[in-house]
Structure 1
Amino acid sequence: MAEGTPAVVRRHPPNAVMKIVNPLMRRSLRRGRGKPAQGLMLLRFTGRRSGRAFELPVARQPLPEGLYVFTSSPWRANLRGGADVEAVLDGRAVPMRAELIEDPAEVADLYRRRFAEVGVKGAGRLGVKLNVDREPTPEELADAARTSGLSAVRLTERPA
């Protein structure tokens, strides 16, 4: 790794690719069919200020205590302070409460725990690129949370 290069950086496909892939993924995830649905879900919510309806294909990150989404995308700001959302899991709409987690130490711990399960080769599934050939340290993950905006969204089921 070159000096000054962070160990962990945000990874996001080019916007042009997302404009083609997202509509296809939305359709597939609504039905809950096929291999593309594995590990993914739709997250639906309303923008806090704009009132705009969001329906985003996102990678679901299961941990023993619940379901998470890892992101550094701007839409996450709509979930600050908590928000009611709907998650489409395997074609089934589930009402949930979303809580945005931005504390670098807490974000680092969540990422570290998922890395323990998916390994270095699974970094792309966590929305990051590694510039090291090992699992990142908690300090490197916390640094990425501070500099790249890595965060997590905790999802908990709520009554319908």
Structure 2
Amino acid sequence: LMLLTFRGRKSGKRYTIPVGYMQKGTSLYLFSHAGWWKNLPDQQVIVRLRGKELHGTAKRLEDKQAIAEMVQQSIAQRGEAMAQRMGLMEYADPNRPGPLPQRTKFFEIKLDEQEAEHAARSAQ
């Protein structure tokens, strides 16, 4: 888990929530079934990760291939049973016909350059 801090898009209020994540290089990936996701796209965020506070920019993922890779990584790390319980299996195939279901939103947080180097080193 990491702590994700962001501002409400209308209120400007600061929120901090615990979220699961996956890391690939200098990017963090997460998904949400809850409504707080509306605050994230293209916003500067702060994450507390392995005892360090890091800054980055959140971007919504909508590309089927990128989402499928994220889900496949989650399956590899946490197992297929966990992915099924989390409702992710229908996102695992990038060749799935039709649009993706809309109930789950996927995000990439690109960490700021200097901090990204630290995160990549500490993930090893």
Q: Do the structures match in fold with TM over 0.5?
A: yes
- The answer to whether 1:114 aligns with 2:74 is yes
Take 2:106 and 2:49, find their aligned partners in 1: how far apart are those partners? Answer: 18
Residue 157 of structure 1 corresponds to which residue in structure 2?
111
Percent identical residues: 25
Say what the alpha-carbon RMSD is for the aligned residues: 3.0
Name which one, 1 or 2, has greater alpha-carbon Rg. Answer: 1
Unaligned stretches of 5+ residues in structure 2:
116-124
Kept in 2: contact 1:104–1:142 (CA 8 A): no
Q: Report the 3-state secondary structure (helix = DSSP H, G, I; strand = E; otherwise coil) of the residue aligned with 1:112.
A: helix
- Quickly say closer, same or farther: Cα 1:157–1:89, change in 2 above 3 A: same
Residue 86 of structure 2 corresponds to which residue in structure 1?
128
Residue 70 of structure 1 corresponds to which residue in structure 2?
31
User: Comparing both structures, which one devotes a greater share of its residues to helix?
Assistant: 1
Unaligned stretches of 5+ residues in structure 1:
1-39
Q: Report the 3-state secondary structure (helix = DSSP H, G, I; strand = E; otherwise coil) of the residue aligned with 1:146.
A: coil
Residue 138 of structure 1 corresponds to which residue in structure 2?
93
Match of 1:88 among 43, 48, 59: 48
Take 1:119 and 1:144, find their aligned partners in 2: how far apart are those partners? Answer: 25
TM-score, structure 1 normalization: 0.57
Q: How far did 1:91 drift?
A: 2.7
